[in-house]
Structure 1
Amino acid sequence: MSENRETFAAGVPIFPTMDMDFEACRRAFLTRDPRFDGRIFGAVRTTGIYCRPICPARTPKAQNMTFYPTAAACQEAGYRPCLRCRPEASPDLGAWRGTSNTVSRALALIEGGALDNGDVDGLAGRLGVGERQLRRLFKQHLGASPVAVAQTRRVLLAKQLIQETRLPMGEVALASGFGSVRRFNETFQQLFGRPPGALRRSRQEEASAAAGGITVKLPYKPPYDWAAIIGFLAARAIPGVETVTPKRYARTLAIDGDVGVVTVSPGAGHFLVAEIRFPRVQALPAAIARIRRVFDLTADPGLIGAHLSQDPALAPLVAARPGLRAPGAWDGFELAVRAILGQQITVTAARGLAAKLTEAYGQRIDEPFAASLGLTRAFPAPERMVGQDIAALGMPKARGAALEALARTVAADPAIFTPRADLDSAIAALKALPGVGEWTAQYIALRELREPDAFPQADIGLLRAMEDEAGRRPTPAELLTRAAAWRPWRAYAAQHLWAADADQLTLAKRTKTDAPHSKQDRQAA
């Protein structure tokens, strides 16, 4: 497979894309190479089925095969998903395959439901491009139109729910985003040649992990550093909103006015297990999208790590943590509030302030399952903080005023934390928010907008991690220049540097604790 490259305006190469070289794709299928799972799909003209490279079925004859870069491209060409290898269970690497920044941002918006109640023209407008340009980019890089991508996600989610849960078919239709049960039935009859219920009857039913909850498996590309991401979340968990153990993360979550509970645990294979409980099943796609964002399930660690390892300073860090991810955020407003609270104080202190804020303004949750997990409140909605004297909770008046102004701004424009045309315009829009400077804007872009090239170059942890042997730290400008070679994965470089800095601080603390404290102790040592 050969590589194309789209570049930034400055000429810096970004996401490498794969041409569909027939022989290379054919070899991947013959060897059932898992490295290509989620990157290519093989369609068989004689059967009308498309498969993953790891499909256990006998590889078809070469003259009967065609290869596509996405499941959406296969379905737009008229093929239906294989019932053995289940393309809906493959790692979704669409946003990381190497396309373009515009396509990556569009995919994030589509996953968040941008085309459920909107059209392609509106999606293009949010990205700062024309509708024809967006369609051309999708065809060029994904082999399918934006609408086809959205429809494929809907169908594959429905198929997963049919085969992994006991939800009634009507609820599956609603949960996967179909406007009506009739449309749901027609789509499955057309695509699979059978009604949706036949897919469930063709195999043993799998009950949900707990009554009232929907349990789904969310695949990822290995390796995956679960310990690192659960440690990150545990250090920032707000009491009453989140509970974290080494093997489970749980929290309350608000979607479109409804408050539910999600729990996430590592699975027995290359997937996480999510249990989702909401009053309405229509919240399911949005909940899954947020889980995938927070746990960074669309990243390709091999691709990212290979690029960052070209820098001798980063190579040992990547080797030490090959599955490190960049944790996302559950909600843009929540993240912005946390970031402002954390300015110039420790993570622990910021967590304490967030707990006070939630206790004062968060919606109380009275639900037995939530209570059994220690979850009692939802993070405050912006409307509940408007007009409040937030500084009275124990923070500088300027910071409390900034939080109230931020809440007022977000309440007036809930879509303010959505991807923009490019990283620079996103940073500019975020810096216009009350209390948000360069560092906070870059941090929000990294975690909420999922900009893989966001980079808070003035962060003390990053500067400390890049100290030379003489103990000299680079200036923010020097670090930014050095980081140019890490593009378009500077956010992941930052994650590795933060992890290394945390290790050094822990080591220094242990050394200080273990060191002799008196003259007699030093002599004895």
Structure 2
Amino acid sequence: MQLDHSICSSARLARDRRFDGRFFTAVKTTRIFCRPICPARPPLERNVTYYATAAEAANAGYRPCLRCRPDAAPGSPAWGLVSTTVQRALKLMRSEREAQSIETLADRLGVSSRYLRQLFAEHLGVSPLAVWQAERALFAFGLLRDTGLPVSQIAYESGFNSLRRFNGVFKHIYRRTPSDVRRESVEGEAGGAGASGTRLYLHYRPPFHWRELLAFFRARALAGVEQVEDEVYRRSFVLDGVRGVLRVRDQGSKNRLVVEVSGEGGAALYLLNQRLRRLFDLDADTAEITAQLAADPLLARELARTPGVRLPGAWDPFEYAMRAILGQQISVAAATTIAGRVVARYGESFVDDSGEEHRLFPAPQQLADADFDGLGLTRARAQTLREFVAATLDGRVNFAETELADWCARVTALPGIGDWTAQYIAMRGLSMPDAFPASDLGILQALGKNGEKAKPTQALARAENWRPWRAYGALLLWQSLKNGEDQ
């Protein structure tokens, strides 16, 4: 991935937070790599090399800076510029707690291991294993500095089943052992969230409108599972066999979300971190999105109101797909109510450490024999839900699919599911940035003129100029209706 050195130089000298996580500065004299916002004295330009990702810098033999902490940088938007196969590989690598062999990963992608290695070398300049190790070591560093978890548990949470292997990889990247870092963190923020929980910090690039996201989630909060109150998002979860509760609040002064997690023993923290980053769209390339969408006058006005647009994601693709199917041709409130009935009837309940009861959205296996009768659904809609559950269980529905056209073709082949539903699931359930439900009533109203709704063909034609960020355009159109914009 090519970087513009003049832009990188200007950004690091200005310590511009908009570029945090977009590139890393490696210093040849010290063999350390930093974020562009590093508070240390800037090195001379002749002594630096720029890398698009932390994995590239680590693979080149540079160790992460202990002052600016590359582990705390927002995710790199550079990953979105690579080939589709590499994107799918990265998604699979991040969806599993443990490492997969290159052969297993290639087999799941339907390519040869040799070809997959070539793609990573061409697009990222590093091997799949190097990316995995760098990302997990950086995540582990954050746990060592910011929590009081034992080193052995941190190794497990980061994806290492062998403490010896964890120590080896960590020392190779940081040039110090995990125990060294733990001792150095005594004066930092270590301590977690108390004896029964853990605190994580998820950093983002400003601007970031937490209240706008919370308003979206509040209107769709699922009873017993989700709650938005006092600018805090809370939900129950089950991850890697562990049940728990998470609470998320914004700490805008430090450009990060604070996540407090309580659960049964370990809480699959790496996987939880990845899901939350997608849920709140923390790694969005807002500068690129804004530059593309601001050419449309209507979207430009909305971007001026809420700069740094984020696409509300979903905790779990299956959960969201079921909710999208329930929401076909009914209001958001009605769909949320019926989804709550599904949870109440089929979802598992548990009690947290404080004695409060929570429910979990049912997994596909729990709904294998569900009839969905008596929930306020038509027979046709209940049958569509049963078909979708069956397709999920037998593999006809693949949530790892990252090609929008393939996903829509696969899902609309099921009875009772049209393009609107497939696009909407892709947009929020799978966080596909170019998904666009062109027949959505709100979109057609927002794009209409003189009181007349636009037609789906007109919406598609106008949105062609928004690619590959049409999903963000759809979100801004919905916001324009809420803000009373007259197009």
Aligned residue in 1 for 2:377: 395
C-alpha distance in structure 2 between counterparts of 1:411 and 1:258, whole Å: 21
Aligned residue in 2 for 1:337: 322
Aligned residue in 2 for 1:200: 182
Single out whichever of 96-105 and 218-227 deviates more from structure 2.
Answer: 96-105
Aligned residue in 2 for 1:456: 437
Q: 1:99 Cα shift? A: 3.5
Deviation per CA, 1:446-470: give whole Å up to 9, x if none.
11222110001010110001012x2
Single out whichever of 204-213 and 328-337 deviates more from structure 2.
Answer: 204-213
Deviation per CA, 1:270-293: give whole Å up to 9, x if none.
111112223242611111111111
Q: 1:175 Cα shift? A: 0.8
* Paired residue secondary structure (2:350): coil
C-alpha distance in structure 2 between counterparts of 1:424 and 1:127, whole Å: 17
Aligned residue in 2 for 1:151: 133
Which letter maps to 1:69? Answer: A
* Paired residue secondary structure (1:393): coil
2:123 counterpart of 1:138: no
Which letter maps to 1:200? Answer: R
What is the aligned residue count?
A: 483
Aligned residue in 1 for 2:467: 487
| Structural RMSD (CA) | 2.2
C-alpha distance in structure 2 between counterparts of 1:415 and 1:163, whole Å: 40
* Paired residue secondary structure (2:245): strand
2:172 counterpart of 1:187: no
C-alpha distance in structure 2 between counterparts of 1:257 and 1:170, whole Å: 19
Does structure 2 conserve the Cα–Cα contact (< 8 Å) formed by 1:95 and 1:298? no
Aligned residue in 1 for 2:261: 276
Which letter maps to 2:41? Answer: R
Aligned residue in 1 for 2:25: 42
Single out whichever of 459-468 and 375-384 deviates more from structure 2.
Answer: 375-384
C-alpha distance in structure 1 between counterparts of 2:172 and 2:371, whole Å: 58
1:321–1:59 CA distance, 2 compared to 1 (3 A)? same
Q: 1:140 Cα shift? A: 3.8
> Which of residues 305, 328, 331 is equivalent to 2:313?
328
> Which of residues 198, 215, 222 is equivalent to 1:214?
198
What does 1:342-381 align with in structure 2 at a 5 Å threshold? 342-369=327-354, 371=356, 375-381=357-363
2:302 counterpart of 1:317: yes
Structure with larger Rg? 1
Which letter maps to 1:398? Answer: A
C-alpha distance in structure 1 between counterparts of 2:61 and 2:355, whole Å: 44
* Paired residue secondary structure (2:340): helix
C-alpha distance in structure 2 between counterparts of 1:336 and 1:499, whole Å: 22
TM-score between both structures, scaled by the size of structure 1: 0.87
What does 1:390-469 align with in structure 2 at a 5 Å threshold? 390-413=372-395, 416-420=398-402, 422-468=403-449
Q: 1:395 Cα shift? A: 1.4
Deviation per CA, 1:178-234: give whole Å up to 9, x if none.
121111112222333322111121231521123221111101111111111111111
C-alpha distance in structure 2 between counterparts of 1:392 and 1:308, whole Å: 44
1:320–1:140 CA distance, 2 compared to 1 (3 A)? farther
* Paired residue secondary structure (2:359): coil
* Paired residue secondary structure (1:473): coil
Q: 1:126 Cα shift? A: 4.7
Aligned residue in 2 for 1:516: none
Single out whichever of 352-361 and 29-38 deviates more from structure 2.
Answer: 29-38
1:292–1:85 CA distance, 2 compared to 1 (3 A)? same
C-alpha distance in structure 1 between counterparts of 2:417 and 2:3, whole Å: 44
* Paired residue secondary structure (1:252): strand
Which letter maps to 1:458? Answer: S
Does structure 1 conserve the Cα–Cα contact (< 8 Å) formed by 2:99 and 2:132? no
C-alpha distance in structure 1 between counterparts of 2:396 and 2:32, whole Å: 42
> Which of residues 100, 108, 111 is equivalent to 2:94?
111
Does structure 2 conserve the Cα–Cα contact (< 8 Å) formed by 1:39 and 1:93? yes
